[in-house]
Structure 1
Amino acid sequence: MAHERFTDIVGNTVEECIEKAVKELNLEKNTIKFVVLNDGIQTKPAKIRVCLKPEEVDLIQSVLKKFFSLLGVKVELEIIPRDKRYSVNVNAKNPYWLIGKDGQIIDQLEYLLNLILRKKAPNLSIRLDIANFRKQKEETLKNKALAIVARVRELQREMRFDPVTEEEYRILRDFLKDIKDIKFYPVKEEEKTILVIAPRK
């Protein structure tokens, strides 16, 4: 099913996915913009995500490369279209000063870049990551949640997660909502949000 900004194509190999995209979407092979979601080597099927609005990808690339060049940083961009906005991972030499403590600089850069992008295209926005910092942080958060879920199942009693930010709560909510044998809810304590995970009885 095609979304507003992308469609996913599956096949036995990446090359087969590309050929299917060219045929089904009536695209030129040398102009197609896509990212590989699964190369099909370890697990089948292979999957690519084809951008249906390449002009938006071109604009993001142009704005971000110019922005970082003004900071004296040469970057490589990985841009993945999603339903509401684009995920952009920035790779650079010595990227850590672009991340900051707990990703605070990433938050500030994302805010500035979205201001610039929206002046050029009001409906365009990005979710910024630097050297996959946010992705790795999310994976750590999810793994910790799974460990607590396992303990809740074992002990059949509720357990409390460490205080989480609003963004972390949204990530955990979307991650845990499909686990049928547990329930979860937030508790406010001294301006902090505590996530409680409990067995569903």
Structure 2
Amino acid sequence: MKKVTASGKTVEEAVQKALVELNTTRDEVEIQVMEQPQKGLFGLFGGKPAVVEVKLKPNSVEEAMDFLQVLIEKMGVQVNIDIKTENRETIFDLQGEQIGTLIGRRGQTLDSLQYLVNLVANRNSDGFLRIRLDAENYRERRKQSLEQLADRLAKKAIQTKKPVKLEPMHAHERKVIHTALQNIKGIATYSEGQEPRRYIVINPNK
């Protein structure tokens, strides 16, 4: 974390010097007064200036990015990370030749990395930050795959008139299934089981 120590005749003067050196504004820093100014004898001799330590507040997104880059390097994978914002959500888009290693089986590794990145991003944040990790549009491809699965199994439930149980899924993937089938006549969906083995049941209406 970048910080500077500055002095001046007054605390405010010392702070302003530090802000200029850091090339930032007061709301982006934390200020600690190290020494209050002291007047000298008769206002002329032996006076001491005010001393302040001013440091930049941590940027949560940058901290999360640095953490992710170090983590990926330790995994022995080289990727490029693009940052974009969508619907008040920050997206880290990973791209590289070994991207499959970071996605993992059905996105489990990507979900684990996302969980850790969000922990780091929110440890010093004033408000809640949501960071989503994607890998060469994996999230959208997975969503489409789940929607196709939901449609196929819903038809099976209607034809056989028997409940169909899906494999355990993360909450956000279960939400995709529920949403895809919420307006389909003749069926109802609900979740059963305990995390992390919670799963969806597609039940035909009788």
CA distance in structure 2 between the aligned counterparts of 1:66 and 1:192, rounded to whole angstroms = 32
Matches within 5 A, 1:146-157: 146-155=151-160, 157=161
CA distance in structure 2 between the aligned counterparts of 1:92 and 1:130, rounded to whole angstroms = 9
Residue aligned with 1:164, SS? coil
CA distance in structure 1 between the aligned counterparts of 2:64 and 2:120, rounded to whole angstroms = 10
Q: Retained in 1: the 8 A contact 2:79–2:94?
A: no
CA distance in structure 2 between the aligned counterparts of 1:74 and 1:151, rounded to whole angstroms = 41
Match of 1:109 in 2: 113
- One-letter identity of the residue aligned with 1:148: L
Could you list the structure 1 runs, at least 4 aligned residues long, displaced by more than 6 angstroms after superposition. none
CA distance in structure 2 between the aligned counterparts of 1:194 and 1:93, rounded to whole angstroms = 33
Percentage identity across paired residues of the two chains: 22
CA distance in structure 2 between the aligned counterparts of 1:174 and 1:121, rounded to whole angstroms = 32
- Which of residues 88, 97, 102 is equivalent to 1:98? 102
- One-letter identity of the residue aligned with 2:97: K
| 1:163 and 2:167 are equivalent in the alignment | yes
Q: CA deviation at 1:146?
A: 0.2
CA distance in structure 2 between the aligned counterparts of 1:99 and 1:188, rounded to whole angstroms = 25
Matches within 5 A, 1:1-201: 60=61, 62-63=62-63, 65-70=65-70, 71-72=72-73, 73-77=78-82, 79-82=84-87, 85-118=89-122, 119-155=124-160, 157-167=161-171, 168-188=173-193, 192-201=197-206
Q: CA deviation at 1:160?
A: 0.8
Q: Retained in 2: the 8 A contact 1:65–1:74?
A: no
CA distance in structure 1 between the aligned counterparts of 2:92 and 2:80, rounded to whole angstroms = 12
* Number of positions where the alignment pairs a residue of Structure 1 with one of Structure 2: 140
Cα root mean square deviation, aligned: 3.2
Q: Which runs of 5+ in 1 are unaligned?
A: 1-57
- Pick which of 98-107 and 67-76 moved more: 67-76
When the two structures are superposed, what TM-score results if normalisation uses the length of structure 1? 0.54
Match of 1:21 in 2: none
Q: Which runs of 5+ in 2 are unaligned?
A: 1-58
Q: Retained in 2: the 8 A contact 1:160–1:194?
A: no
CA distance in structure 1 between the aligned counterparts of 2:126 and 2:102, rounded to whole angstroms = 25
CA distance in structure 2 between the aligned counterparts of 1:104 and 1:196, rounded to whole angstroms = 22
CA distance in structure 2 between the aligned counterparts of 1:88 and 1:120, rounded to whole angstroms = 18
The CA deviation string for residues 135-162 of structure 1, in whole angstroms up to 9 with x for no partner, is 323322221110112233444x133133
